[in-house]
Amino acid sequence: MNVLQRLFEITGLPALPEIMVKIQRIVNSEQGNATLLAKIIQQDLSLTAKVLKIANSAFFSTGNKRISSLPLAIARIGFNEIRSITMAITLIKQFSKKSSFFNYPAFWRHSLSAAYLTQTIASVLPKKLSNEELQFCFLSGLLHDMGILIYDQFFHQEFERIMEYAVKEEKSFLVAEQIVAGKETHQMVGSALLEIWKIDTPVISGVRFHHAFEKAPGNHLIYVAITYLAEYILCNCAVGSFEGTIREINASVWDYLKIPPDTLGNMFAKAEAEVEKADIILAMETSEKNTSLRPV
């Protein structure tokens, strides 16, 4: 039985956190407002405390008066931004554990930075994306490497074989898993989990094809291209994940996005701010020190 078949038969596989479903429903509703959103968040005292801390952080408060009201925190951070933050915090809480083998804080730093970087990339595109499209991009960035977590937590022996091969042969994780796991890459495993969760299909495509733009369905190319570029930038900085450095950018992605060639250098600089924002959120979960971005 292969990994994908076994994934669908795991009885202890975590469900999509209920609070994420509720928050998504309210934000997408025409009747959604800060008060209704606050009522949902207040159901989780830990989440409430973290949202207030983030709202009062230097990144969001910018010298404004300290607040202790959740609706005011939502107003300060922004309706769409609070959705992204609460989703990230909820996922990090559910899919993190102590491990001597896997660096979860570093993993989530990379994933959350990728999520925020998708927004920066979208802001320089010739065509402005809708709020829904921006949310699909954010989730694609946040979830793009979920398959790595699934390998570690549910298929640990297979995960160890990939890691051992990478170390022994001095290969990146991306190369090693292609050799050891074949088609059952972290992209395929992660997107299969999202199918189980019934996540929107543009997000599933963003996860499944973020290393294979040329195979993505035509109506989802924008999400795949933006997720790929966010991954490329971070994997060539000090916030890369297991995939290793991506030496050459896929020219098809660059041509499709129609971003001026000199923009890439600015993207590396802007990535710094997105990593800082990710660090503020991750500080709620870990005391890991912030490190600056440096291309490698």
Is 4 inside any structural domain? no
Residues 74, 174, single domain; the answer is no
The whole-angstrom separation of Cα 116 and Cα 140 is: 10
The whole-angstrom separation of Cα 212 and Cα 245 is: 16
Residues 150, 280, single domain; the answer is yes
Is 195 inside any structural domain? yes
Is 5 inside any structural domain? no
- 289, with CB counted inside 10 A (0-12, 13-18, 19+), is exposed
CA angle 79, 91, 281 (to 5 degrees): 60
Between residues 60 and 245, the one the model is more confident about: 60
On the question of pLDDT at 242 being above 80, the answer is no
* Range from 32-46, 68-82, 137-151, 244-258 that averages highest in pLDDT: 137-151
Boundary of a domain, candidates 47, 77, 94: 94
155-159 CB contacts, 8 Å cutoff, 24+ apart = 155/3, 155/6, 155/189, 158/3
Is 131 inside any structural domain? yes
Residues 136, 268, single domain; the answer is yes
pLDDT tens-digit profile of 90-121?
A: 888 888 777 667 788 888 888 998 998 999 89
Is 202 inside any structural domain? yes
Boundary of a domain, candidates 65, 94, 123: 94
DSSP class of residue 215? G
pLDDT score for 136: 92
**Residues spanned by the domain of 134:** 102-296
**Alpha helical stretches, state H, 31-69:** 34-41, 45-55, 58-61
Residues 233, 169, single domain; the answer is yes
Between residues 243 and 272, the one the model is more confident about: 272
pLDDT score for 241: 62
The whole-angstrom separation of Cα 287 and Cα 201 is: 35
pLDDT score for 81: 83
Is 9 inside any structural domain? no
The count of structural domains within the chain is 2
Boundary of a domain, candidates 94, 120, 155: 94
pTM exceeding the 0.75 threshold for the entire prediction? yes
